[in-house]
Amino acid sequence: MNIYVYIFRRILYVIPVLLGVCLIIFVLFNLVSPDPTLMMLGRHATLKQMLELRHELGLDRSLPLQYLDIVKSAFTFDFGRSWSTKQEIVEMIRNGAIPSLTVTVPSFIIALAISLVIALFVAFYRGAWYDRFSVLICVGMMSLPSLAYILFGQKILAYDLGLFEISGYEHGFPAFIPYVILPCVIWIMLSIGPDVRFYRTVILDEVYMDYVRTARAKGLSETVILFKHVLKNAMIPIITWVVIQIPFLILGALLLESFFGIPGLGGITLNAINSADFPVVRAMTILSAVAYIIFSVITDVLYTLVDPRVRLK
């Protein structure tokens, strides 16, 4: 079977998964959660008002029809309008995605590059003092809560030293850059600890394999062994780890966005939850599910490129 047929079939598998996800979302929002009209109208609402609002929102239609609406929105990305702002949700997502991505994408790429380089370096000199020192630093960095980084950054670096903007955002390139530097730095600091530890472990798992001994017996240098033989084997778990993080980049950094006043998707989601804006929350849930499914397909396809043992059948 060739790779295109494999990809096509893998994409076909997405359909039942997505239908299942829609069903879960439907059950959670329509059957389990309390009546949204009650929350919207307050406790002095009359039954007539509630019924009118239910009709207006389409909540009085039959359940299968409401389920179909969710399915339709998952495939067309037409999520309707927000209950509270009456805005097109697609428009809201489009506006929020860019500020989110301006923070998450650069942070993610820089953190990935830095962590991989550090991990390869310490794996190469495994057992030496800087290897053990790096583990110590990583654990230390992971032990500090993210709030500590945020408060330190905003108080010391931004307020006292005036190195960065404390919070806020401006749309358009390059106006946004000063506002995203500090959140990016904090994101990178938060990622490096777990990332380095993970990459280092993965690489060290490979270093003691028999094929590495064979490579040495052939006369290969340690550099070639690490960068050719070991790294290609280590790529398999690394790809999973990296690609599965990408959907979360789209959703934005919830905590960072709210602390730094960045009008991204994380903030939109948070507001929608607080105001019981069901269509927006639902749209964000569907969006993240779709992103997650798409990137797991991409992971599977990448496997077949890296690992010949993954056969397409």
Q: Could you list the residues that contact another protein (CB under 8 A)? A: 127, 209-211, 213-221, 229, 232-233, 306-309
Toward another protein, which CB reaches closer, 98 or 310? 310
Q: Which is nearer to another protein, 223 or 274 (CB)?
A: 223
Of the pair 9, 216, the CB lying nearest another protein is at 216
Residue 208 C-beta: closest distance to another protein, Å: 8
The answer to whether the beta carbons of residues 273 and 281 sit under 8 Å apart is yes
CB of 117 to another protein, least distance (A): 22
> Please, what is the minimum distance in Å from the beta carbon of residue 216 to another protein?
6
Q: What is the DSSP string of 139-193?
A: HHHHHS-HHHHHHHIIIIIIIIS--S--S----STTTTHHHHHHHHHHHHHHHHH
Q: How far is the CB of 134 from another protein (least distance, A)?
A: 18
Helix (H, G, I), strand (E, B) or coil at 88: strand
**What does the alpha-carbon distance between residue 129 and residue 65 come to, in Å, rounded to a whole number?**
64
Nearer to another protein, 87 or 214 (CB): 214
Residue with structure tokens 């401006």?
Answer: 170
- Nearer Cβ to another protein, position 162 or 308? 308
Torsion of the alpha carbons at 244, 202, 200 and 140, rounded to the nearest 10:
60
> Cβ closer to another protein: 44 or 309?
309
Query: Min. distance of Cβ 5 from another protein in angstroms?
Result: 21
CA dist 177 to 12, 20, 172, 253, Å? Answer: 40, 40, 9, 17
Q: How far is the CB of 22 from another protein (least distance, A)?
A: 38
Q: Which is nearer to another protein, 229 or 282 (CB)?
A: 229
Is the link from the previous residue into 174 a cis peptide, with omega within 30 of 0? yes
Q: Residue 66 belongs to what H/E stretch?
A: helix 63-76
Q: 């980084």: which residue's tokens? A: 149
Closest distance of CB 308 from another protein, Å: 4
Tell me the C-alpha distance between 289 and 283, whole Å: 10
Are 167 and 259 spatial neighbours (Cβ–Cβ below 8 Å)? Answer: yes
